[in-house]
Chain A
Amino acid sequence: MRGATQAKWAACAVAVALAATACGGGGSSSGGGGADGIVSSSWGDPQNPLEPANTNEVQGGKVLDMIFRGLKRYDPKTGAATNMLAEKIETKDNQNFTITVKDGWTFSNGEKITAKSFVDAWNYGALLKNNQKNAYFFGYIDGYSKVHPESGSARANTLSGLKLVNDKTFTVKLMQKFSLWPDTLGYPAFAPLPRAFFTDHAAWVSKPIGNGPYTIDKYTKGSSMNLRKWDKYPGDDKAQNGGIDLKVYTDNNTAYTDLTAGNLDLVDDVPAAQLKNVKADLGDRYINTPAGIIQTLAFPFYVKKWDTPGGIKVRQGLSMAINRDQITGQIFQKTRTPASDWTSPVLGVDGGFKKGLCGAPCEYNAANAKKLIQEGGGIPGGRLKISYNADTGSHKEWVDAVCNSINKVMGNNKACVGAPVGTFADFRSQVSQQKLTGAWRAGWQMDYPLIQNFLQPVYYTDASSNDGKWSNKQFDGLVDKANAESDKAKAVSTFQDAERVLVAQMPVIPLWYQNGSAGHSDRITNVSLNQFSVPVYEQIKVK
């Protein structure tokens, strides 16, 4: 019975295939917003497990912003750090701080929030063996080098600078004076954590419990998260809608299409390709507001030919050769603003943003540009290579445009070329391992709206994000001085003095400030983006 056996084989294959269909089906589809004031919003799959001190990208940050409140909170409109869970933060010397936690706050599981909730959370975040990618946020606290040494294993389990005084109070000793430090406490890494986080970590990560205006109702990793309003939330920024349904999109173009088809209420990342149509599609439901992001062109100071006295003129010349107005207008459809300093407009004038601080070196001037570059000895190696990652964003378009602009000025269409790198990870590893010998695209997204955050981590000698290894004593000195300043206005102006060193040295070329762009359906109102270009979800109202 040969034929029969063969038929069985075939039948078997079909059965396997059918079984596969049967096991996955079912379940209701939840397109669109639906009843009860639920807002549906686009989302991306968070790269890291959702833990406050382990989330360093915007997608995970979004969720933390909804389910956590820390000691301070940045006003979504002005960016000013105001007390949230902190009753008061006191210091006499800008190095030792006493923090008192407000009464009456609980986690959504009912647990009371005390000073210990913070101390435990911070100790966990700083400890090396917990692999928290934002551990360096605790780096200012005394004892950090013991719990998180540069190499080897930790020599202590807790930060010696953190002391629990009583249920409501704890003290913090910093390694150095840092007057603006309390203002950094609005960052999610400093959020308090409930006991459940430590006792049953796996369960917590699969469904985090926080103390913010929303609680997580359902979390399907990689595809969706349903957040619901927490009725007992004690803060004054209660959610004004019933909840938020986050839906993971593999491609922001699809999210945008879903928005235009009426299946989605909010996208917070309008794809570059759609910027031309967005006004026609959405009208005033399109939002384009400044965010705390600046994009720059960085140089390798670890390569001899870039670290020359003449190099300053070359870099200033290159900066003047870039037609920022034209590129931001044509390629970015005005979702970027030409940069004229090294901070961001979201800081505001009081916070240290100063339009035009860079002056002439950041303004397009073809004649002077060429002259300066030639006086400085020409572009090292005869050609400027700008490396960028080609996988995300529209980096190729603008790098080509920047090169075009430089080539035109130099009268040589090979003076500048783009050098694409396949993936972001590869690009970052080349940058951090100092493999790049030409320029590269760099960007800085602020952690907190402070001028210090735009300067110290990026340009201070050996700072964590000083990838070009630029080093300048005068700059370092001014930053130290600014940090020790107890008067905020004085600190800000000293930071601006440090920024003037950047004008004179041009270690990186500021290109443009990035805006956050979002679009929403006509079902919802009161939509805005905060300075981190994250929607202010709790303020959204449903019609």
Chain B
Amino acid sequence: MGRYVIRRLLQMIPVFFGTTLLIFLMVNVMGDPIAGLCGERQCDPATAAQLRSEFGLDKPVWQQYLTYMGNVFTGDFGTAFNGQKVTDLMATAFPITIRLTIVALLFEIVIGISLGVVTGLRRGRPIDTTVLILTLVVISIPTFVTGLLLQLLLGVKWGIIHPSVSSQAPLNELIIPGLVVASVSLAYVTRLTRTSIAENARADYVRTAVAKGLPRRRVIIRHLLRNSLIPVVTFIGTDVGALMGGAIVTERIFNIHGVGYQLYQGILRQNSQTVVGFVTILVLVFLAANLIVDLLYAVLDPRIRYA
């Protein structure tokens, strides 16, 4: 187990460097960011040159990358164009997005899995069909439509929520945005769980458990669900990274100043320091989530061993 973790951690290193390099190149391809700083007019050449050297943009890209990575390892993610440290931006943005992600994950796990279990056990019945149709609807509607619709109905028409989240973004204000972020994944979790449960419901070990006279609750939770959760856990694990990075649209709609907002601003202003910094952290989150998923396999199914 320990060796497996170490091997996985070592594997992360090239992935980490590769992804950050790619992002770095992509941001650089977009052109000269200084040109956008002076509005509709041209920056005067002396100031532009000065700014370029201050942000290190006058050096070749490979040198910029090396300097950047060198700084990252000392915890310095550089400075955004408005003079704020990128680490400061992260300190305000990440907690908010993590909260949003947790709300979304809770929705996925609680609602998604329960619906999946219910429908999986009642295959072909009206409830199964209804939920299947509902999930299809949710999957086919883009998130921004769900978001704007909920915002309009709950926020403007009925006044149940504030249409925009305040800058502190407390948990209670994140419930609806979290539901919106989770919606599509929630539908997938439901479907995955349903299929998996339906498949395993006829497995030998379930029949054995029933034959032993175990209570139905115990059969479902300890035997059936535990074995059926492996694909679901894989999905949810990879979804953590996707939720954090992919909340850009939802964060915009509900005015949440999280990671999506900072990334969007960074891309719009071609602020490579912000974009690369945030993506670097997201890459780490993604890698860590994947590692945790793999480790959870062993918890769920002891037959899976890591040497």
What is the 8 Å Cβ interface bit string for chain A, positions 404-443, against chain B (1 contact, 0 not)?
A: 0000000000000000001111111111110000000011
A6-B295, A21-B99, A151-B46 known; A251+B255 contact, CB < 8 A:
yes
A254 touches B31 (CB 8 A): no
Residue in contact with A49 in the complex, picked from B82, B156, B170, B257, CB distance below 8 Å: B82
- 6 A-B contact pairs sorted by A residue (CB < 8 Å): A10-B299, A48-B82, A56-B41, A222-B84, A445-B39, A465-B42
Residue in contact with A56 in the complex, picked from B38, B83, B151, CB distance below 8 Å: B38
Q: Which residues of B contact A (CB under 8 A)?
A: 1, 30-47, 49-51, 54, 81-84, 88-89, 92, 94-96, 98-99, 102, 151-152, 155-156, 159, 162-164, 166-171, 173, 251-257, 261, 264-265, 267-270, 292, 295-296, 298-299, 302
A135-B47, A426-B270, A429-B32 known; A254+B163 contact, CB < 8 A:
yes
Measured in the bound complex, the distance between the Cα atoms of B170 and A27 in whole Å is 8
Residue in contact with B163 in the complex, picked from A29, A151, A261, CB distance below 8 Å: A261
A46 touches B82 (CB 8 A): yes
Measured in the bound complex, the distance between the Cα atoms of B47 and A49 in whole Å is 15
Q: Which residues of A contact B (CB under 8 A)?
A: 2-3, 5-7, 9-10, 13, 17, 20-21, 23-31, 45-49, 56-57, 128-129, 131-133, 135-136, 148-151, 205, 220-224, 247-251, 253-255, 257-258, 260-261, 263, 391-392, 422-433, 442-445, 457, 464-465, 467
Chain B residues with Cβ below 8 Å from A261 are: 155-156, 159, 162-163
Which residue of A is nearest B271, CB measured?
A425
Count of CB-CB pairs between chains A and B under 8 Å: 220
Residue in contact with B89 in the complex, picked from A24, A222, A457, CB distance below 8 Å: A222
B255 touches A250 (CB 8 A): yes
Measured in the bound complex, the distance between the Cα atoms of B30 and A263 in whole Å is 38
A250-B255, A422-B30 known; A24+B95 contact, CB < 8 A:
yes
Which residue of B is nearest A441, CB measured?
B40
A29-B170, A422-B30 known; A128+B162 contact, CB < 8 A:
no
Chain A residues with Cβ below 8 Å from B44 are: 135-136, 148, 150, 464
Chain A residues with Cβ below 8 Å from B43 are: 133, 432
Measured in the bound complex, the distance between the Cα atoms of B32 and A130 in whole Å is 21
Name the residue among B34, B54, B163, B295 with the largest chain A CB count within 10 angstroms.
Answer: B163
**How far is the CB of A434 from the nearest CB of chain B, in Å?**
10
A25 touches B252 (CB 8 A): no
Measured in the bound complex, the distance between the Cα atoms of B153 and A260 in whole Å is 12
Chain B residues with Cβ below 8 Å from A426 are: 30-32, 35-36, 270
Chain B residues with Cβ below 8 Å from A25 are: 99, 168, 170-171
Chain B residues with Cβ below 8 Å from A31 are: 162, 164, 166
B99 touches A20 (CB 8 A): yes
B156 touches A257 (CB 8 A): yes
Measured in the bound complex, the distance between the Cα atoms of B39 and A133 in whole Å is 10
B164 touches A254 (CB 8 A): yes
Measured in the bound complex, the distance between the Cα atoms of B291 and A375 in whole Å is 70
Which residue of A is nearest B171, CB measured?
A25
A45 touches B302 (CB 8 A): no
Measured in the bound complex, the distance between the Cα atoms of B105 and A17 in whole Å is 11
A47-B269, A205-B83 known; A263+B163 contact, CB < 8 A:
yes
Q: A17-B98, A25-B99, A151-B49 are in contact. List 19 more A-B contacts (CB 8 A).
A: A6-B1, A6-B295, A10-B299, A21-B98, A25-B168, A46-B82, A47-B269, A128-B47, A133-B38, A150-B44, A249-B255, A250-B265, A257-B151, A258-B162, A425-B268, A426-B35, A430-B31, A432-B43, A442-B40
A47-B37, A133-B38 known; A20+B95 contact, CB < 8 A:
yes
Which residue of B is nearest A422, CB measured?
B30
Which residue of B is nearest A128, CB measured?
B46
A423 touches B267 (CB 8 A): yes
Chain A residues with Cβ below 8 Å from B168 are: 24-29
Measured in the bound complex, the distance between the Cα atoms of B83 and A432 in whole Å is 24
Which residue of B is nearest A23, CB measured?
B95
Measured in the bound complex, the distance between the Cα atoms of B38 and A151 in whole Å is 18
Residue in contact with B268 in the complex, picked from A131, A249, A423, CB distance below 8 Å: A423
Residue in contact with B156 in the complex, picked from A133, A251, A260, A424, CB distance below 8 Å: A260
A250-B255, A444-B40 known; A7+B299 contact, CB < 8 A:
yes
